[in-house]
Amino acid sequence: MSISRDFYAEQVSVINEFFVDPETGLTTADGQEFAAEAQALHEQLQTVFAEFDSQGLGLTLKSIHGDSWVIILPDASNQGCFRHQSFSKSGWTGHMTTLTAEAAVLDAFESGYRLLADRNTLDRLAATQEWAKGIEQLDLITRHNNGLISWQQFHEAMNQVAVKYAEAA
């Protein structure tokens, strides 16, 4: 993948070269449609990069597919790298490490995180009971996946977490 702020503009050029009617030398109807979609994505990406240029690391984007967000950060596990860390209302959901912050922004955008979100989204969600419950559940999943607890211990602990947060509600 080209790590370029003009990734989609470059796609418009490729589309216009590929979808040419040999008789007329003009871009076909399909090519025009694909180019228009790529142009719209280019404009959305420019908006995201303009916000990134303004606020830098900590940029938070919302998914076009629902209640999921990413935040652009230095990667804590790989010095000199960056990541987009995804999260939902119930905690962390994943991350992607890249060599540059721009690549993290572009990868997040291509993954559907295209809407600008309030910079305080993570802080707001992390202060909720739903987040606390999700983080406890994630810890149990991680411990089970790493072989630190058995399936039975995992299942019992998950039930305890459910009861704990049902009582808190």
Question: Mind listing the pLDDT tens digit for each residue in 135-152?
Answer: 999 999 999 999 999 999
Binning pLDDT at 50, 70 and 90, where does residue 1 land? very low
When pLDDT is cut at 50, 70 and 90, the band that residue 86 belongs to is very high
Sign of CA dihedral 91, 94, 99, 105: negative
Distance, in Å, from the CA atom of 50 to the CA atom of 108, rounded to the nearest integer, reads 15
Distance (Å, whole) CA 118 – CA 141: 29
Q: Confidence class of residue 3 from pLDDT cuts 50, 70 and 90?
A: low
Strands 91-98 and 60-63: unpaired
pTM of the predicted model as reported, rounded to 2 decimal places: 0.86
Residue 89: name the closest of 142, 138, 134, 59 by CA. 134
Q: How many CB atoms lie within 10 A of CB 164?
A: 13
pLDDT, tens digit, for every residue of 23-33? 998 999 999 99
Give me the amino acid identity at 94: G
26-56 pLDDT per residue, tens: 999 999 999 999 999 999 999 999 999 999 9
Question: Do the Cβ atoms of 48 and 114 come closer than 8 Å?
Answer: yes
Question: Is the per-residue pLDDT at 2 higher than 60?
Answer: no
pLDDT, average across residues 96-115: 96
Tally of CA atoms within 13 A in the half-sphere of 20 that contains its CB: 11
Which residues, other chains included, contact 61 with Cβ-Cβ below 8 Å and sequence gap of 6+?
Answer: 48, 69, 70, 72, 84, 108, 109, 113, 114, 115, 116, 117
Give the pLDDT of residue 4: 81
Question: How many Å apart are CA 31 and CA 47, to the nearest integer?
Answer: 24
